[in-house]
A and B are shown apart, each in its own frame.
Chain A
């Protein structure tokens, strides 16, 4: 390993979790960790005088790998043709735009100062696929969330009222698939679409005769009892449609006593009762959330760009296919979940899209950087490497005003954004990108620069504005290795870690009944279902029991 000791000298340090707000100090790195002190003789000294030193960024929700991302790549050759990347300096070639190749995904994240990215929607049956792609997404630390909200075995056990078996099964599933967190997508909705039905509710009976709320409750209990570092990561019902804010309010009310993360909240903050009356209701959702510090969210910001939507919310993708026309892919995964894919272009001259753009910024600005994290629900709202655009809007009221002049003229009456003056500071932006998502993920070694933290450090050259400053790192230190130097990637040859949770629930904890359900209804044998250790070449296992 080159240079196992580093001194990052003379930078202006921002470390929100440790209350450091722009102090000039040196950061010491040894064996991949941040340490209290180090002698200068043994270390490489990097002089960063005048530069901004911050924890590397953490993306809490970005669809970068796995079966549906790859299906989207297959569906959209024209998307790749517009954004090819040459092989250079030992880096692999590839293509970018809305569904970038794995290497390009890593390179672009690294240049934005990211050290950790979480893929939020993996069917356990296809977890190996996501993990293999992540192995080809070098340097970054990665984790996957395991889709459970439509799992037939879980529903079967809950219908029987066997809560104990249901909880053990969920904990076993998380461990067996190598997951970091539990993901729930439109509980009951994906299952219903397999029957040709569109279902959106927490409190109505699903096709299985149990209510989605019961499913989420039990998964919340699993997260709590097994002390999972990240709570249930919930994509609730009625995404993207007029009146979706009611689903957000219903969801907040249903789970207000739990720790919870609401995924891409922007899509659940719409009012109106038709596309014609579509408007922002972000204020109502923000009000409902303001009392519950235990609930976090990410933006799911929309960018005006041609992108690819993809989600396990299969009824929504089918609806979008009917609305938008054009190509549609869907994949139903036995006993577990499904996914849908539709290419989509957000247009400034479209009233609905204009409102969507404003809503994402409204919730972030109103709730603040500790509660709402920067995402575009990549690539659903737009590709992640448009984050600097979003940062510009979050840090400059003028930049927002300029945009509001450009969007659909009727939008202004349907949004609140023009009434919001708040501008995030550099400190707040760094909080939103690193400290806050790391905290929400329960990643104690990430998101800060205190002794014992992973030496994942982003170093920026100050430029004209916060957004310009944060648009590309001058240096990126990952695990103590200098990965980006003078704004160019110099070392991307190692694979990064898989961060996963060990719930301690082994096969022996599963009831015979669950084993029988496996044998009868899966198309692979039980012994070939669980992800083998070989898929975690470098890993961090969070033992939570």
Chain B
């Protein structure tokens, strides 16, 4: 059976034109997806997790009961992950956090969290990816390597496609890549600007300074001022420009200050011509996790409910900080792998705590978790909403059955048991 217009649940591109061939209840072929997307679909049944308690295989029901016991007993639970599951499950995770007075954080805190912090300061002029395709004649990727992290981004949205007003496609666009190292993405660029690591802030503010008429000589952040001047000229000559910002800005020294500089530059450019900024979001629904947190609590991450209302404090209620300071006594991980993704010191403290891991796949986190609850893979075995990196919500599909419940169902059953309303599976 050929299934068309399948949505790929891997990265923030959320490509929705994938073709999947299903035979005998299994995926036999994938077309149009990138190599990572193909791997995701074709290997989605490899290395699956199993329901277990303390490493012993058990039933889903037993695993859920044990999870409920832990969540009931502990004083300060951290709920973490969320970026690779559906809105429906994320909503339940928030309800649970509110119910048990937990801290809740999502993977954005180690991804584009600093971008949110910068938006608090400046706001953000942004646009959807179709707007990039239709209008953008200059695109700048700053600290981002789409050809490896968002492989079809150039092809579908930002560089190659012929749009309504950029009718020539690639020839109608100028591509600028700014990074600390050459990458496949920079090799495709018309202009590659190599910045010294940790000096993006200086370079961005040099551009702002020159935009306001300031004069500079020599170099800034390892880049010749003449190069920056010509970049600024290109920016000013754009009809519609877009800066895509990546981890190169959020994870380095300066963090949200770097993003704030990029946003300020874009805002100031709007007094001359149109510029937007789009964050290159990693996981396919990390954007959605932020959305749900915002509409239910007002804040995009790092929320604590221990006083009965949402309190926001990145650096305090963010997962890495809570773990580093040993402030939680249990961790519920939903569709994420903090044991693999957190810095060593945070992982060490995480390993000393009871972990409940809800995940279709085996991961380092499921390997060390006290309780493992396998679930159906969103976008293959269960449907749901996901938000693309530009905030466009798309329905991801169910194309196969799973013997396991969805993340949403598992969380719903946990909530019901904690509230004392038994619900049947």
Binding site for B on A (CB under 8 A): 65, 67, 69-71, 73-81, 84-88, 92-95, 99-103, 125-126, 128-129, 132-133, 136, 152, 193-196, 318, 322, 327-335, 338, 341-342, 520-525, 527-528, 532, 534
Check B296–A94 contact: CB distance below 8 A: yes
Residues of chain A within 8 A (CB-CB) of B125 are: 328-331
Task: State A334–B270 Cα separation when bound (angstroms).
Answer: 18
A-B contact pairs, 25 of them (CB 8 A): A65-B295, A74-B300, A75-B123, A79-B298, A80-B299, A84-B309, A85-B309, A92-B98, A93-B309, A93-B310, A129-B391, A129-B393, A133-B295, A193-B274, A194-B240, A196-B239, A318-B270, A331-B125, A331-B391, A332-B276, A333-B131, A334-B130, A523-B128, A523-B156, A524-B16
Other-chain contact of B298, A73, A193, A334, A338 (Cβ < 8 Å): A73
Q: B312: CB under 8 A from chain A? A: yes
Residues of chain A within 8 A (CB-CB) of B91 are: 136
Q: B394: CB under 8 A from chain A? A: yes
Known: A76-B120, A94-B297. 18 other contacts (CB 8 A): A74-B120, A74-B300, A77-B312, A84-B310, A92-B296, A93-B98, A93-B310, A95-B298, A99-B298, A101-B298, A128-B394, A136-B91, A327-B122, A329-B124, A335-B164, A521-B133, A522-B130, A534-B395
Check A330–B276 contact: CB distance below 8 A: yes
B11 nearest CB across to chain A (Å): 15
- Known A-B contacts A94-B296, A101-B298, A523-B129; the reply to A328 vs B267 at CB < 8 A is yes
Residues of chain A within 8 A (CB-CB) of B156 are: 523
A351 nearest CB across to chain B (Å): 27
Q: B291: CB under 8 A from chain A? A: yes
Q: Which residue of B lies closest to A532 (CB)?
A: B395
Task: State A322–B156 Cα separation when bound (angstroms).
Answer: 35
Check B309–A75 contact: CB distance below 8 A: no
7 cross-chain pairs, A with B, having the tightest CB-CB distances, nearest first: A334-B130, A523-B130, A80-B298, A327-B123, A329-B123, A332-B127, A128-B393
Task: State A519–B138 Cα separation when bound (angstroms).
Answer: 23
Other-chain contact of B296, A101, A152, A328 (Cβ < 8 Å): A101
A517 nearest CB across to chain B (Å): 9
Check A525–B164 contact: CB distance below 8 A: no
Interface string of B7-35 (1 = CB under 8 A from A): 10000000011000000000000000000
Other-chain contact of A73, B163, B294, B385, B392 (Cβ < 8 Å): B294
A238 nearest CB across to chain B (Å): 21
Q: B126: CB under 8 A from chain A? A: yes
Task: State A534–B119 Cα separation when bound (angstroms).
Answer: 32
Task: State A462–B387 Cα separation when bound (angstroms).
Answer: 47
Q: B308: CB under 8 A from chain A? A: yes
Q: Which residue of B lies closest to A125 (CB)?
A: B392
Q: B121: CB under 8 A from chain A? A: yes
Task: State A103–B295 Cα separation when bound (angstroms).
Answer: 9
Q: B201: CB under 8 A from chain A? A: no
Q: B255: CB under 8 A from chain A? A: no
Interface string of B302-346 (1 = CB under 8 A from A): 000101111110000000000000000000000000000000000
Residues of chain B within 8 A (CB-CB) of A338 are: 127
Check A525–B300 contact: CB distance below 8 A: no
Q: B220: CB under 8 A from chain A? A: no
Q: Which of A80, A99, A330 has the most CB of B within 10 A?
A: A330
Q: B135: CB under 8 A from chain A? A: yes
Other-chain contact of A136, B157, B162, B296, B387 (Cβ < 8 Å): B296
Binding site for A on B (CB under 8 A): 4-5, 7, 16-17, 87, 91, 95, 98-99, 116, 119-131, 133-135, 156-157, 162-164, 239-240, 267, 270-271, 273-274, 276, 290-291, 294-300, 305, 307-312, 383, 385, 387, 391-395
- Known A-B contacts A101-B295, A527-B5; the reply to A77 vs B120 at CB < 8 A is yes
Check A327–B309 contact: CB distance below 8 A: no
Residues of chain A within 8 A (CB-CB) of B124 are: 71, 75, 329-330
B196 nearest CB across to chain A (Å): 30
- Known A-B contacts A103-B296, A329-B126; the reply to A524 vs B164 at CB < 8 A is no
Other-chain contact of A528, B16, B120, B122 (Cβ < 8 Å): B16
Residues of chain B within 8 A (CB-CB) of A93 are: 98, 297, 305, 308-310
Task: State A522–B98 Cα separation when bound (angstroms).
Answer: 38
Check A329–B391 contact: CB distance below 8 A: no
Other-chain contact of A520, B162, B267, B309 (Cβ < 8 Å): B162
Residues of chain B within 8 A (CB-CB) of A67 are: 391
Task: State A67–B273 Cα separation when bound (angstroms).
Answer: 24
Task: State A520–B128 Cα separation when bound (angstroms).
Answer: 15
Check B131–A332 contact: CB distance below 8 A: yes
Residues of chain A within 8 A (CB-CB) of B295 are: 65, 69-70, 73, 101-102, 133, 136
Check A524–B392 contact: CB distance below 8 A: yes
Q: Which residue of B lies closest to A137 (CB)?
A: B295
Check B385–A74 contact: CB distance below 8 A: no
Check A328–B17 contact: CB distance below 8 A: no
Check A335–B387 contact: CB distance below 8 A: no
Task: State A71–B311 Cα separation when bound (angstroms).
Answer: 19
Residues of chain A within 8 A (CB-CB) of B119 are: 74-75, 329
Q: Which residue of B lies closest to A528 (CB)?
A: B16
Check B299–A523 contact: CB distance below 8 A: no
B175 nearest CB across to chain A (Å): 18
Residues of chain B within 8 A (CB-CB) of A95 are: 297-298, 309-310
Check B392–A126 contact: CB distance below 8 A: yes
Check B116–A81 contact: CB distance below 8 A: no
Q: Which residue of B lies closest to A526 (CB)?
A: B5
Residues of chain A within 8 A (CB-CB) of B270 are: 196, 318, 330
B226 nearest CB across to chain A (Å): 27
Check A334–B310 contact: CB distance below 8 A: no
A179 nearest CB across to chain B (Å): 16
Residues of chain A within 8 A (CB-CB) of B126 are: 329-332
Q: Which of B7, B17, B124, B162 has the most CB of A within 10 A?
A: B124
Residues of chain A within 8 A (CB-CB) of B121 are: 327
- Known A-B contacts A327-B122, A524-B392; the reply to A334 vs B133 at CB < 8 A is yes
A83 nearest CB across to chain B (Å): 9
Check A523–B267 contact: CB distance below 8 A: no
Check A334–B128 contact: CB distance below 8 A: yes
Residues of chain A within 8 A (CB-CB) of B387 are: 129
Task: State A70–B271 Cα separation when bound (angstroms).
Answer: 25
Check A195–B274 contact: CB distance below 8 A: yes
Task: State A85–B296 Cα separation when bound (angstroms).
Answer: 12
Check A132–B385 contact: CB distance below 8 A: yes
A97 nearest CB across to chain B (Å): 9
Task: State A524–B387 Cα separation when bound (angstroms).
Answer: 12
- Known A-B contacts A75-B119, A103-B296, A334-B130; the reply to A521 vs B164 at CB < 8 A is yes
Check B296–A194 contact: CB distance below 8 A: no
Q: Which residue of A lies closest to B95 (CB)?
A: A92
Task: State A156–B91 Cα separation when bound (angstroms).
Answer: 39
A402 nearest CB across to chain B (Å): 34
Residues of chain B within 8 A (CB-CB) of A80 are: 298-299, 310, 312
Residues of chain B within 8 A (CB-CB) of A81 are: 312
Task: State A528–B291 Cα separation when bound (angstroms).
Answer: 20
Task: State A31–B122 Cα separation when bound (angstroms).
Answer: 51
Residues of chain A within 8 A (CB-CB) of B16 are: 524-525, 528
